């Protein structure tokens, strides 16, 4: 029997759970580490476990299903078997993916109390599957670790059942713990032929699965005023090829397309870029870390990280070509003064989370 079952399934969860796992090991707290296999590509998930020098998962699944509902059902079935074997007193999850929904539903049906790290994020955009997931998870969790006061307010307004604690976001812990290692060990900059560049990531279903939005992106990226570096998610690659847009993008001499890169390489790319164009939630947070401090243009209609917008780090620009290009030009030409601190915390979120768990679960 392990006291706590820690569940991850995707790259962001591995990164954001890493500081908590390190804190568990430092405090000698017993835990079982489970990887659901939601990101089945080696480059998209397991490489991060190795790169962050985390322990190998005690359990790892190979999923047969890729469709969301079937995948969630398969994860629940496999998680139930493992949780029966572990018999934990608590289930700790992070984020808003299908893995987190599967873990939360399994836990609640088995009577295992749930702790949700990064609780209370809201985009109010129902096209986003993550919005469904995070709301359901928050309402079945016993302990909710809200990263910010705004997230706490969201939870209070929804009258969630569990106890709410504001801790900061572990993503800032992760950046602060790894940036020096990244700068020493990463060789990614030797592959970049540009003196200055924009860093691009785009992978969200509501963007890349829409041919019109995808075409807008390709046309905007080709016309950017300075070169761009674009590590490409496998989903985006598939959609570009299906829509006969990949060759148009890859033939541009101003855009360097890369396969998915590791976390340390991504930190270095962020640190050295002029500007970030992304539809990712995590990059909106990472860009605010004191050691990164880069402006972000969000390629979406909404964000569940409004703190980054309010602090001046991020701006929502939508998905239309002319709007994207207009805001890129304005941002590059402005003398932007970004805050020296992150709205997502001071790098001690994992310490606070473990302190709360020790007290609430009577671990010592």
**318-344 tens-digit pLDDT:** 999 999 999 999 999 998 899 999 999
Distance from C-alpha of 108 to C-alpha of 238, rounded to nearest angstrom: 36
- pLDDT one-digit tens code per residue, 278-293: 999 999 999 999 999 9
Question: CA separation (Å) from 189 to 184, 192, 247?
Answer: 12, 5, 24
Q: What is the DSSP string of 238-275?
A: HHHHHTT-HHHHHT-TTEEEE----HHHHHHHHHH-SE
- pLDDT (tens, 9 = 90+) of the chain, 364 residues, equals 568 999 999 888 999 999 999 999 999 999 999 999 876 554 556 677 888 889 999 998 888 877 889 999 999 999 999 999 999 999 999 999 999 999 999 999 999 999 999 999 999 988 888 899 999 999 999 999 999 999 999 999 999 999 999 999 999 999 999 999 999 999 999 999 999 999 999 988 889 999 999 999 999 999 999 999 999 988 899 999 999 999 999 999 999 999 989 899 999 999 999 999 999 999 999 999 999 999 999 999 999 999 999 999 999 999 999 999 999 999 999 988 999 999 999 999 999 999 999 999 998 7
Distance from C-alpha of 13 to C-alpha of 108, rounded to nearest angstrom: 20
Active-site annotation holds for 203: yes
* Domain 4-168+347-361 falls under CATH 3.30.420.40: no
Selecting among 35, 39, 159, 203, the annotated active-site residue is: 203
**How many angstroms from the chain centroid is the CA of residue 320?**
24
Each domain of the chain, given as residue ranges in start order, spans: 4-168+347-361, 184-333
CATH number for domain 184-333, candidates 3.40.50.300, 3.40.50.2000, 3.30.450.20, 3.40.50.10320:
3.40.50.2000
> What is the Cβ-side half-sphere exposure of residue 359, based on CA atoms within 13 angstroms?
9
């Amino acid at each position: 029997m392990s006291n706590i079952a820690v569940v991850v399934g995707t790259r962001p969860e591995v990164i954001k759970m890493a500081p908590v796992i390190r804190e568990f090991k430092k405090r000698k707290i017993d835990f079982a580490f489970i990887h659901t296999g939601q990101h089945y590509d080696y480059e998209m998930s397991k490489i991060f476990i190795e790169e962050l020098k985390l322990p190998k998962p005690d359990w790892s699944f190979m999923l047969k299903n890729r469709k969301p509902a079937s995948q969630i059902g398969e994860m629940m079935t496999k998680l139930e078997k493992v949780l029966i074997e572990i018999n934990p007193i608590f289930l700790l999850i992070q984020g808003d993916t299908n893995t987190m929904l599967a873990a939360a539903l399994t836990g609640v049906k088995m009577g295992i109390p749930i702790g949700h790290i990064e609780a209370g994020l809201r985009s109010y955009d129902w096209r986003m599957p993550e919005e469904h997931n995070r709301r359901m998870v928050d309402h079945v969790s016993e302990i909710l670790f809200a990263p910010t006061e705004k997230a706490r307010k969201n939870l209070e307004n929804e009258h969630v059942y569990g106890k709410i604690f504001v801790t900061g976001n572990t993503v800032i812990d992760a950046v602060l713990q790894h940036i020096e290692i990244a700068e020493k060990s990463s060789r990614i900059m030797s592959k970049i032929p540009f003196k200055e560049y924009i860093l691009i990531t785009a992978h969200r279903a509501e963007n890349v699965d829409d041919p019109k939005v995808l075409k807008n992106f390709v046309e905007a990226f080709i016309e950017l005023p300075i070169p761009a570096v674009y590590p490409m998610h496998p989903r985006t690659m598939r959609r570009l090829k299906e829509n006969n847009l990949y060759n148009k993008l890859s033939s541009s001499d101003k855009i360097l397309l890369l396969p998915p890169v590791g976390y340390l390489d991504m930190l270095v790319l962020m640190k050295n870029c002029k500007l970030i164009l992304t539809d990712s939630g995590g990059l909106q947070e990472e860009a605010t870390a004191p050691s990164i401090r880069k402006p972000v243009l969000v390629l979406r209609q909404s964000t569940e990280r409004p703190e980054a917008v309010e602090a001046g780090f991020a701006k929502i620009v939508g998905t239309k070509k002319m709007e994207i290009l207009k805001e890129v030009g304005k941002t590059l030409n402005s003398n932007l003064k970004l805050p020296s601190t992150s709205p997502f915390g001071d790098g001690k979120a994992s310490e606070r989370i473990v302190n709360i768990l020790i007290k609430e679960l009577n671990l010592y």
